[in-house]
Chain A
């Protein structure tokens, strides 16, 4: 009979001091610690781009909650990424006002320019393409959000311009880092 060996992992040192401080602040304004779970996921994601399994276990440990409970929250919400994403995540609004005003053409232009489908990341790791429910810019549809920036009144030409300028910006940033 095989013997199952178990190991106790300590994730408490996985998070940075800044992340822990931010999460502790959120926990302090709630009646119990696990209520800060969603904010905690967002805090770690803001620092690391996405929520890895290790990040999830570490947050669960910090908030004294089962990791399965945190996972059911993490996978429920649209803006928590449980897979690695590109440097720029494109959230293209696919709701009704955008649908009526040219969403399909904008989507086609993005797909053609980047060579990816919904849910995919470009091979250079720059862009991930996701759909988003109504972004609240219906009077200036079609719209999309990249990072914290909302882009409105999109056309196929304009969206390609925006993506091109982000590609240029990324190159400049990488040069500066070298």
Chain B
């Protein structure tokens, strides 16, 4: 995540990161001098909200927070574009989800710390499009530096009349606030985030109603991820065709990929959507540390299914990774080498989910600690073969459709795929009565 990774990048091929400076982000006038706020100027002065919405829809931009939901479609659900515009609700909210807490994911932090004005510009355009006059950046409590830099940049934007009343001489008004969270993974779930923003426990809400209709304080609300929003100024500025052509595949744009684990040069790289896993891991990440071999990996954060070395040539886009049996998620590769125990890795992941479960619904509240108990037993060499059946059953009990939100199904993804791909490792723990990797360390 150093600037050297970004050397030689250009505004047209690495739109999201070409202005990133982690030491000292560009201030307002520097950002503007580099082509900043051109997209927002164009949106406010040349386009109607409906035209901006059409641009975003046509661009094919999909949510970069993990689910990959089409952004234009999400925005279009906000009630406002009826033939008679007076039907539009008076209050609407835009919320940026900067609660980056998916283990193995650190891309949004780079955008928040490295180019805060890009996000502010994006939120101005997004708020204009959906007709929101108040917006919040919901940032995780641990990102102190990012919150400080955003707060300073927001003050500059007010000064430059890009926030507040009559923005740039138009009738559009927007107030933007930073809300620093107090730390819970579940806050990244959009309805839980809305509860947290309302000062409540971050339990997810039942859907419908969807936040686009009834969200923050009961008003229509759009919640978008940092990386998703950061694309908006560039789509408005450079057009739909440019955005689509950034990627050789059907999924448009660039993606900030990451790699962590025992890798030679772990980091973040903005690359065309659909770059292969092999290129990300070996060309950019430098491959594994000497003496280690690749055993498997999670393609996009803790809540994605394991994939194997045989999947290395899969393009990292929503469709291809989906067909390979996992999810693109956040695009942050987590690498499992052949000297780290897969059972211990899954145990670590499940401990995370058990701790971060909000406790609202039974499959998650009781299921995740149960899995941890069974996995701990296996990792410590006290497991029985019947435990593997128990894990299979728990995967079913915690799967989609049985829970209130996606946390428990997200926990099932690495577990179920590990049981399938690393079955021999689980069995060896049981038959040998110890961890073959650590000799019983948990």
Contact = CB atoms under 8 A, between A and B. Distances in A.
Contacts of B201: 72-73, 76
B250 interface: no
Contact of A134 (B103, B179, B298, B345): B103
Interface in B91-119: 100-106, 108-109
A138 B104 CA distance: 6
B340 A100 contact: yes
A119 to B, nearest CB: 13
A104 B441 contact: yes
Interface string A79-101: 11000000000010011110111
A137 B182 CA distance: 18
Contact of B143 (A39, A95, A100, A136): A136
Interface size class of B (residues with CB under 8 A): 35 or more
Contacts, number: 138
Interface stretch (B125-133, B256-264, B382-390): B256-264
B260 A139 contact: yes
A39 B141 CA distance: 10
Given A30-B199, A78-B182, A96 B356 contact: no
A72 to B, nearest CB: 6
A137 B109 CA distance: 9
Interface string B328-370: 0000101111001000110011011001101000000000000
A149 B154 CA distance: 23
Contacts of A29: 175, 177
A100 B102 contact: no
B233 interface: no
A133 interface: yes
A160 interface: no
Contacts of B358: 76
A34 B439 CA distance: 52
A41 B182 CA distance: 9
A42 B140 CA distance: 13
A38 interface: yes
Nearest to A37: B199
Given A134-B105, A138-B104, A139-B268, A79 B356 contact: no
A174 interface: no
Contact of A39 (B179, B185, B267, B335): B179
B103 A133 contact: yes
Interface in B294-312: 298, 302
Contacts of A173: none
Interface in A4-48: 29-32, 34-39, 41-42
A140 B109 CA distance: 13
Contacts of A78: 182-184
Interface string B172-192: 000101011111110000000
A80 B104 contact: no
A29 B217 CA distance: 12
A52 interface: no
A141 interface: yes
A94 B184 CA distance: 14
A103 B195 CA distance: 33
Contacts of B140: 136
A97 B336 CA distance: 10
Given A72-B201, A137-B106, A138-B105, A31 B217 contact: yes
B196 interface: yes
B142 interface: yes
A139 B103 contact: no
Given A35-B199, A95-B352, A97-B103, A76 B262 contact: no
A145 interface: yes
B198 interface: yes
Nearest to B267: A139
B50 to A, nearest CB: 28
B103 A96 contact: yes
Contacts of A114: none
A30 B95 CA distance: 13
A76 B184 contact: yes
Contact of B259 (A136, A139, A148): A139
Given A29-B175, A94-B351, 14 more contacts: A35-B217, A38-B181, A39-B179, A73-B201, A96-B349, A133-B103, A134-B101, A136-B100, A136-B101, A136-B109, A138-B258, A139-B1, A148-B145, A150-B145
5 contacts: A41-B182, A42-B141, A138-B105, A139-B260, A141-B260
